Structure 1
Amino acid sequence: MASDVDTTPLVGRADLVATVRAALLDDVAPGHTAAVFLTGESGVGKTRLLREVGERLSDGGALVLNGSCLDIGDASPLHPLRQALRRLDAGLAPTAAASVRALLAVFAEEGAGPDGAGALLERVSRGLSVIAGGRPLVLVLDDLQWVDRTTRQLLLYLLAGLGDLQLSVLAAVRSESLQGAHPLRRVLTELRRLRSVRVLDLAPLDRAGTEELAAAVMRHPLATEAAEQLWRRSGGNPFVIEELSRDLRDGRDGLSDTLREVFLARVDALPQPAHRAVHAVAAGVEPVEHWLLARVVELPEQELLEAVRAAVSHRLLVGTNDGYRLRHRLVAEVLEDELLPAERAVLHRRYAEALTSAPAELHQARLAHHWGLAGQPERALPAAVAAAEEAERLYGYVEAHRHWSVAVELAEGLPGADRTALLGHAAEAAHHCGEYARALALLEELAGADTDIPACELHIRRARYLAAAGRSALAEVEYQQALDVVDCTPGQRATAAARLAELLLQLGRYADAGQRAREALALAEQVDGATTEVVLASAALGFSEAYRQDPDAGLAVLRRALATAERAGRPEDVALAYLHLAELLTGPLNILEEGVVVARRGAERVAELGLGRSYETRLLAIATNGLFRVGQWAEAEKVVAAALRHRPSGADAVELLLARCRLSVGYGDIEAADRDLDAVATILAGGGARHVIPLLTLRAGLAMWRGQHDVARHAVQRGLTETRSDDLVILAVLVWHGLRAEAEAHASRTVAVDESAVRRLREIADRVAGRSERAARPVRYVVDGYLALCAAEVSRLDRADPELWARAAAEWDHRNHPYPAAYSRLRQAEALLASRRRTATAGKLLRQAHQMAQGLGAVPLADEIRALAGRARVALEERAPVGSATSAGPGGEEISALTTREREVLAAVAEGLTNKEIGQRLFISERTIGVHVSHIFDKLQVRTRVQASAIFLRSRG
């Protein structure tokens, strides 16, 4: 079952190719023999591997004979050797070809009977020795399971050292064919005793290899869900992967006839009891335990064991300690159409009855599945509800959502089923597991049904789902409508006020959040058991107070809220308390190291509570931003890549994409940053200033690196319309970007400076300065740093003041923020050089800035520093004295310009890893690895991976 290998790469077999080549050529002493037998299921890539290894052996100086066995028993003695010699004859010079034809003539003269067998084998051995002419000879045989009796005898004769010939054998055996008393089983058993013989089982590809092969066939990487489905369906079999990938690429639905016939043929080859066992496992929920399979197929114990053993030998089933699984999920798809509907229903009914009668704990999810497919929804529904409730008790919200959704479908048209209650449960589970669009759709269906849920409760739930989906403006309206409902109970009013306070906090409206939080706490005092409302309101109030008045008091309130949430144990309360505490520490209070620790600890905690896709990703986004600000960009990359594996949606995705975009802008990965910003803009329909202003700030920064200063100006002006925010920090950052855009326009002389925009920005900067005087001291501390940058940028519009830039650099040094500190040094050096004074100081500043930018991996900033240094003839690298302790070894000076992350990537490149493999090792995306590799090439001034690897290896010498 060889696939079309001409256009697809050999994936995941590099180590095996090297091992086999060494065993057959490099490690074989003159006059000795060696053999490697590759076993594996059909389609696993044996034929392709034979071809690849054969080419390597030929390149290594060996004479390679390629033959294939035919499925015709002993009718053609020595057929594979004859075929190999004919192929060899076609490509040889006349003199050598004569030797080949002489050996072929031997086959016509001698019989293969018992009397002539020894003489024939001896003559064949001598003939092969003549043809080899002193070179190592390798006999490559495919489909050895069909080998004829004479060829088997020849292999045993030669590998036992009876022939005067240095021979190696490489053969492929289809393992599912070696059943019962197959003669090759005895031959392989005998050959295994020889030290020179190795039998290797060729395993299917792993998950990474499956994705790599599929991407090569489809000519683009697969989406996460498609990759997961392909991995499950194919079982890692390369032939199946290629067939399924071609179907996806060409837009074909369903299963191809080729695959269907292949698997049907394998199932049909089974004995009847094994056939029944495979059908039963295909209908079950894997793994299918042995006792359960026994009850379903109703076979005697010994007969069942023999049936399963046959199915395992044919590579259709896999047996483990916990039960039986199909090796390929495609078998289930194929067999589904082979049974009549009534037969399938009987199988599922047997499963359900067996599970119900089992003395152990009931498997509710499996019961619901089997009763449903058995056509008995009235018995499936209670099991689905029980499975959903059990999943919620264990914080398995993804599973709970799936089970509630099944329950909703089962209740359709079922008399006596409370479908509206099921819709409510399904919507809440969808919200908890991050399926926000699904939660909103279910809630709308619930609202349109005949339900007695109060209007106030519907408004609150809709607001929660909208806020999580990133539609903050609509969420605020819904909360207000809930508070305005006349018959809203005290408990509902407290809930609406507390959640509105939390939303206003997310929007950056800290004063409003504090006011609503106080109202919520007052309302909660009138309601028994309002723990959630107290936690949410306390978190909002603590954040508001810490930002606006007293950081210590506010922090204390937040910590108490977290402790209260942990005692109560409600997952969402715990998550929100961690979220606001980490945000406060890494944001306004600028206690970055502690904030990152709290964020990562909180991420671990909420993951335990089943909120990995939602709150864990938000907390990891906070950790990423903190790491970015303190200059730990490589670690930030790992954190954001780990969070993205959850495939977040809504506001969770916004936070994470903005965090990743900051890294991309810093690294200079323009395309990745653009893509993330477009995704954020799409999600943020109705979003608040807290997300919109950072989005537009990043747009402006990206445009400036592209030299599009008018585009940057437009983005900043749009951001200034977002006035409903008390967050002075994000506003100060936006104003700095606006003034920087005007200064860049002035310096480049490509776009005229907009004087009205400058005036407006300076006025807003003054207002920010005035408002920051009333904010808490840590907030003023951060805002003052950005205002120092604003003042220095204004000076560039006339005559840059190096003292203002020196002040800005000192401000950011004190805050331990290396990026703005490096940028300030660049501008200070630029101002000094423009005034033609203190050039030595300017050179020192440029070297410091360059070292900081290189350490971060901030490529655009480092490029600008190098450009200025080049114009000013400033050497950025200070050469160490020859023989000094700081001198690098050969190549050491060349890689000294690389960042820590780039050195990690270069080390992996030197190992021969692909970008995809490096990304998997370092937990970052393949595209980001490509950016790092490009930067490495630029810095080392090389054009290929081989050249870069050589420099790395020299540096280690």
Structure 2
Amino acid sequence: MASDVDGTPLVGRAELLATVCSALLDEAAGNTAAVFLTGESGVGKTRLLHEVGERLRDGDALVLTGSCLDIGDASPLHPLRQALRRLDADLAPPAAASVRALLAVFTEEATDPDGAGALLERVSRGLSVIAAGRRVVLVLDDLQWIDRTSRQLLLYLLAGLGDLQLSVLAAVRSESLQGAHPLRRVLTELRRLRSVRVFDLAPLDRAATEQLAAAVVRRPLASEAAEQLWRRSGGNPFVVEELSRDLRDGRDGLSDTLREVFLARVDALPGPARRAVHAVAAGVEPVEHWLLAQVVGLPEHDLLDAVRAAVSHRLLVGSDDGYRLRHRLVAEVLTDELLPAERAVLHRRYAEALASASGELHQARLAHHWRLAGEPERALPAALAAAQEAERLYGYAEAHRHWSVAVELTEGLPDVDRAALLGHAAEAAHHCGEYARALSLLEELAGTGSDLPACELYIRRARYLAAAGRSALAEAEYQHALQAADCTPRQRATAAARLAELLLHLGRYADAGQRAREALALAEGVDGATTEVVLASMALGFSEAYRQDPDAGLAVLRRALATAERAGRPEDVALAYLHLAELLTGPLNILEEGVVVARRGAERVAELGLGRSYGTRLLAIAANGLFRVGQWSEAEKVVSAALRHRPSGADAVELLLARCRLSVGYGDTEAADRDLDAAATMLAGGGARHVIPLLTLRAGLAMWQGRHDLARHTVQRGLTETRSDDLVILAVLVWHGLRAEAEAHAGRTVAVDDTAVRRLREIADRVARKSERAARPVRDVVDGYLALCAAEVSRLDGADPELWARAAAEWDRRNHPYPAAYSRLRQAEALLSRRRQTATAGKLLRQAYQTAQGLGAVPLAEEIATLAGRARIGLAERAVDAAPPAGTGGDELAALTPREREVLAAVAEGLTNKEIGQRLFISERTIGVHVSHIFDKLHVRTRVQASAIFLRSRR
């Protein structure tokens, strides 16, 4: 079942393909060379035979291709006959005469008085005539079915008994070489020859599996689909292609082709081995040997023989911890083959065996098997125990799964507190990032008529809504909780503290501080209100740090983190890290420390089971900090790591916005558009913290696309529809608005909107006045953006180079390379427009260009190059002088960023841009940007030259 050669790319086999071709043409091996490819059905042997044959044919070898038939010795020399007939059809009449003469030898075989030896010699001579001095490559597929005469011919030729230059390439199904199969002995003998090599084809690894699937589906797979396909296929290329076609064509279930293939393989097993495979398919992998023995009920010797047969047929994999199916797809196939009663019996045997085992009980597996055995009353206690154990170990995803199973099991069972189970399931769903599921379970709980107080219901609904990114609804629910008549002092303190935390997240720092003080006052009269004190302290400390005293506020946050760590409640620890990292990378602009805190926090909360939710947010904060200091390639790595969490809700929005900043900077407009659309879809009811950055990014993207009217409209939306005390994000939005008007004026694409300009200037003045009352670090950052605003306004009536010089100095002082490079571009543009200081303008453009290239900021670099070209200012020569030429000693790759080194390593492997992008989880266009920068920095023009430098640097 090899993949057909239908345009699907050959993936994961590039190195093996080169090795096989080299081995077959190895002159040092003498006249003969052979390569045998072994592997399970569908692993890609036939495809590799085809690719090797094509390469060798292009190299002027005579390639003869044939397949063996599963009919024993009924058709002697069939593969060679088939190969010669194909060759005869391809040759012109004069050249085909020798082929037909050799074919005639086969028809004379029955009456040949000289016997088999003479026949083999005549065939060898005939092949020599046909080859006419060229090397003959005999390609044989399905060698496990080779007939006796063909086997003798193969051994005769490989023994070098003729004078033929021969290479043999053959494929063998591993599962067919069982027992006394004659080919096993032949291969054993041939392995001893220096001219013979045997390669066992392993399944594809995960990256290659996703690459192949993406080629079939014609788009990258979503993370969940890729995970499921990898788990079901086990990396078998044939299975991957079949499943991918089903996915592409929208077919559910399992194709008849795959079903029949796997059923045939299972049916080929001896009876005891089939029983063992059926049992493992019904189990929870890995299935330990002692457990399988009790379920199957075979004597030890018979069980070992059965398992050995299943392993030899490539259906089971054995390891120290037990047995697994090589392909989980087998379980799907075999489930439908058993009667419901048979399945129930298997699961009951598993449950009884696990329950009777000495030592620790396997509660999760017990619950699984009792449930499928049709005994919910015995499954429920095990499910509850498994859920509690998972929570104790911070395994919230597993806990959510077990609580959900417990909820399902309560159907029809009397005297079970279903409401309590719903509450546990909802909380576990919230902790593991399944926010929609948490809200759904909470609504079901509310409808059960439980005695859960209304105030508690409001608080929990608000928490889940906030995590889902629906901030406006969450705020309303907290207000309802505070006003509820049944609200206890503890619940009132909780609602106030969590509302303060939400307001902080929305950027409403004054309101957050006020609510935090209320919460602290309420918590004073409540014993054990550690969580409330931690949350309120964080909100108050952040508010104070932003508005008045950074040092004092920062100290409060650090104390809150220490308190949370001592108390040990995971969510409190996560929130403390989150707000500390936000404060450092945001208002206080202590970026390096903030990135360290964010990354350390992400590791810590992952240990606490909150990696998918709070861990994702912390990594997004780290990525944003790295973006600001110009470490874009490192920010890409952080985003890629966070994406593996498959976040949802507000966590996903944070990450999408972080990735979009990189895409906008790189000029990958398609990726940026996708992320913005996805974030906007999730932001129903979102607050200014997300909405303003989203609209700012939308405006920036529109400007690079030349759509200045759209940029203007987007900025106006942000100024009208949102409310925030965060002067920084407001200043960034105003800058983008003024920049859009200046770009429209410069490009004459649309008329300048004087009303919009006036309004933007008024808001800039208001921001400046408010920033005077903010803490000094906040004022410093706001001043940088206000400097950009003033300089953009000057572009409307004659750009002022001094204003741009001031803006560049502001951003240099803060170590923000991107706005500094942009300011230098505009300063040079202003100088050139006044036709003066051309040398200074050239220096500024070269500095800006070098920064833009180092970042990978393609649109900015292109605009700089365009301006330099119009002014006839050279960029390359000075850029070259800035870095030592390649090959002059030292590290030749020193000029490359870590991400560029990763890309170069993949280029040296021979991967395409698309393949590299799939490996590194970034777009093909972004890879093209990196490759362009690598060429510029290494002063090369081709991938081969770049690869040579990389390989040389590793010596």
TM-score class, shorter? over 0.9
What letter matches 2:758 in structure 1? Answer: R
For these two proteins, the number of residue pairs brought into alignment is 950
Q: Does 1:276 align with 2:275?
A: yes
Quote the Cα distance in structure 2 between the aligned partners of 1:256 and 1:752.
Answer: 59
Residue 38 of structure 2 contacts residue 199 of structure 2 at CA under 8 Å; is this kept in 1? yes
Quote the Cα distance in structure 2 between the aligned partners of 1:689 and 1:887.
Answer: 48
The 5-angstrom pairing of residues 351-370 of structure 1 reads 351-370=350-369
- 1:380 deviates by 0.7
Q: What SS is found at the alignment partner of 2:63?
A: strand
Q: Does 1:915 align with 2:913?
A: yes
Residue 811 of structure 2 contacts residue 820 of structure 2 at CA under 8 Å; is this kept in 1? yes
Query: Who is 2:594 aligned against?
Result: 595
Query: Who is 2:21 aligned against?
Result: 21
Residue 315 of structure 1 contacts residue 327 of structure 1 at CA under 8 Å; is this kept in 2? yes
Query: Who is 1:161 aligned against?
Result: 160
What letter matches 2:741 in structure 1? Answer: E
- 1:479 deviates by 0.6
Q: Does 1:924 align with 2:919?
A: no
Q: Does 1:447 align with 2:437?
A: no
What letter matches 1:908 in structure 2? Answer: A
- 1:106 deviates by 2.9
Quote the Cα distance in structure 2 between the aligned partners of 1:605 and 1:208.
Answer: 28
Query: Who is 1:141 aligned against?
Result: 140
Quote the Cα distance in structure 2 between the aligned partners of 1:820 and 1:535.
Answer: 37
Quote the Cα distance in structure 2 between the aligned partners of 1:298 and 1:844.
Answer: 83
Q: Does 1:548 align with 2:520?
A: no
Residue 623 of structure 2 contacts residue 638 of structure 2 at CA under 8 Å; is this kept in 1? yes
Segment drifting more, 527-536 vs 147-156? 147-156
Query: Who is 2:400 aligned against?
Result: 401
Residue 398 of structure 1 contacts residue 429 of structure 1 at CA under 8 Å; is this kept in 2? yes
Q: Does 1:829 align with 2:825?
A: no
Quote the Cα distance in structure 2 between the aligned partners of 1:487 and 1:116.
Answer: 103
- 1:130 deviates by 2.7
Unpaired stretches in structure 2, ≥5 consecutive residues: none
What letter matches 1:5 in structure 2? Answer: V
What letter matches 1:214 in structure 2? Answer: A
Quote the Cα distance in structure 2 between the aligned partners of 1:596 and 1:646.
Answer: 19
Query: Who is 1:713 aligned against?
Result: 712
Quote the Cα distance in structure 2 between the aligned partners of 1:952 and 1:204.
Answer: 28
What letter matches 2:652 in structure 1? Answer: A
Change (3 A) 1:877 1:215: closer
Q: What SS is found at the alignment partner of 1:764?
A: helix
Q: Does 1:209 align with 2:208?
A: yes
Segment drifting more, 84-93 vs 510-519? 84-93
- 1:126 deviates by 2.6
Change (3 A) 1:88 1:590: same
Post-superposition CA distance 1:657-688 (Å, at most 9, x none): 11111111111111111211111111111111
Residue 661 of structure 1 contacts residue 677 of structure 1 at CA under 8 Å; is this kept in 2? yes
Quote the Cα distance in structure 1 between the aligned partners of 2:686 and 2:325.
Answer: 47
Query: Who is 2:289 aligned against?
Result: 290
Quote the Cα distance in structure 1 between the aligned partners of 2:883 and 2:271.
Answer: 77
Q: What SS is found at the alignment partner of 2:74?
A: coil
Q: What SS is found at the alignment partner of 1:721?
A: helix
Q: Does 1:382 align with 2:384?
A: no
What letter matches 1:308 in structure 2? Answer: V
Post-superposition CA distance 1:325-350 (Å, at most 9, x none): 11112211111121111111000000
Q: What SS is found at the alignment partner of 2:198?
A: strand
Q: Does 1:795 align with 2:783?
A: no
Change (3 A) 1:27 1:435: farther
Quote the Cα distance in structure 2 between the aligned partners of 1:661 and 1:572.
Answer: 28
Post-superposition CA distance 1:498-543 (Å, at most 9, x none): 1011001001111111111111111112111111111111111110
- 1:66 deviates by 1.6
Change (3 A) 1:685 1:111: same
Quote the Cα distance in structure 2 between the aligned partners of 1:921 and 1:250.
Answer: 25
Post-superposition CA distance 1:199-253 (Å, at most 9, x none): 2111122222222222222222222212222222222222222222222222222
The 5-angstrom pairing of residues 593-742 of structure 1 reads 593-722=592-721, 724-742=723-741
Residue 853 of structure 2 contacts residue 933 of structure 2 at CA under 8 Å; is this kept in 1? no
Residue 28 of structure 1 contacts residue 34 of structure 1 at CA under 8 Å; is this kept in 2? no
Change (3 A) 1:207 1:528: same
- 1:817 deviates by 0.8
Q: What SS is found at the alignment partner of 1:328?
A: coil
What letter matches 2:237 in structure 1? Answer: P
- 1:492 deviates by 0.6
Change (3 A) 1:246 1:374: same
The 5-angstrom pairing of residues 358-507 of structure 1 reads 358-507=357-506
Q: Does 1:562 align with 2:542?
A: no
Q: What SS is found at the alignment partner of 1:685?
A: coil
- 1:127 deviates by 2.6
Segment drifting more, 419-428 vs 854-863? 854-863
Change (3 A) 1:114 1:561: farther
Segment drifting more, 872-881 vs 244-253? 872-881
Change (3 A) 1:875 1:904: farther
Q: What SS is found at the alignment partner of 1:797?
A: helix
What letter matches 1:717 in structure 2? Answer: Q
- 1:760 deviates by 1.7
What letter matches 1:918 in structure 2? Answer: I
Residue 352 of structure 1 contacts residue 371 of structure 1 at CA under 8 Å; is this kept in 2? yes
- 1:417 deviates by 1.6
Post-superposition CA distance 1:614-638 (Å, at most 9, x none): 1111001111111111111111111
What letter matches 2:213 in structure 1? Answer: A
Residue 11 of structure 1 contacts residue 213 of structure 1 at CA under 8 Å; is this kept in 2? yes
Query: Who is 1:817 aligned against?
Result: 816
Residue 739 of structure 1 contacts residue 794 of structure 1 at CA under 8 Å; is this kept in 2? yes
Q: What SS is found at the alignment partner of 2:527?
A: coil
Quote the Cα distance in structure 2 between the aligned partners of 1:808 and 1:112.
Answer: 98
Q: Does 1:172 align with 2:150?
A: no
- 1:382 deviates by 0.9
Quote the Cα distance in structure 2 between the aligned partners of 1:608 and 1:932.
Answer: 34
Quote the Cα distance in structure 2 between the aligned partners of 1:366 and 1:199.
Answer: 41
Residue 39 of structure 1 contacts residue 199 of structure 1 at CA under 8 Å; is this kept in 2? yes
Segment drifting more, 771-780 vs 915-924? 915-924
Change (3 A) 1:577 1:827: same
Residue 582 of structure 1 contacts residue 622 of structure 1 at CA under 8 Å; is this kept in 2? yes
What letter matches 1:810 in structure 2? Answer: A
Quote the Cα distance in structure 2 between the aligned partners of 1:144 and 1:236.
Answer: 23
The 5-angstrom pairing of residues 932-947 of structure 1 reads 932-933=930-931, 947=942
Quote the Cα distance in structure 1 between the aligned partners of 2:844 and 2:817.
Answer: 14
Q: What SS is found at the alignment partner of 1:319?
A: strand
Query: Who is 1:850 aligned against?
Result: 849
The 5-angstrom pairing of residues 303-342 of structure 1 reads 303-342=302-341
Q: What SS is found at the alignment partner of 1:35?
A: strand
Quote the Cα distance in structure 2 between the aligned partners of 1:424 and 1:809.
Answer: 55
Quote the Cα distance in structure 2 between the aligned partners of 1:235 and 1:887.
Answer: 47
Between the two proteins, what is the percent identity of the paired residues? 87
Change (3 A) 1:307 1:914: same
Quote the Cα distance in structure 2 between the aligned partners of 1:529 and 1:78.
Answer: 86
Segment drifting more, 234-243 vs 266-275? 234-243
What letter matches 1:140 in structure 2? Answer: V
TM-score by length of 1: 0.95
Unpaired stretches in structure 1, ≥5 consecutive residues: none
Residue 856 of structure 2 contacts residue 929 of structure 2 at CA under 8 Å; is this kept in 1? no
- 1:700 deviates by 1.6
Residue 666 of structure 1 contacts residue 860 of structure 1 at CA under 8 Å; is this kept in 2? yes
Quote the Cα distance in structure 1 between the aligned partners of 2:371 and 2:22.
Answer: 56
Quote the Cα distance in structure 2 between the aligned partners of 1:227 and 1:79.
Answer: 42
Change (3 A) 1:112 1:657: farther
TM-align CA RMSD: 2.5
Residue 709 of structure 2 contacts residue 750 of structure 2 at CA under 8 Å; is this kept in 1? yes
What letter matches 2:53 in structure 1? Answer: G
Query: Who is 1:10 aligned against?
Result: 10
What letter matches 1:23 in structure 2? Answer: A
TM-score by length of 2: 0.95
- 1:719 deviates by 1.3
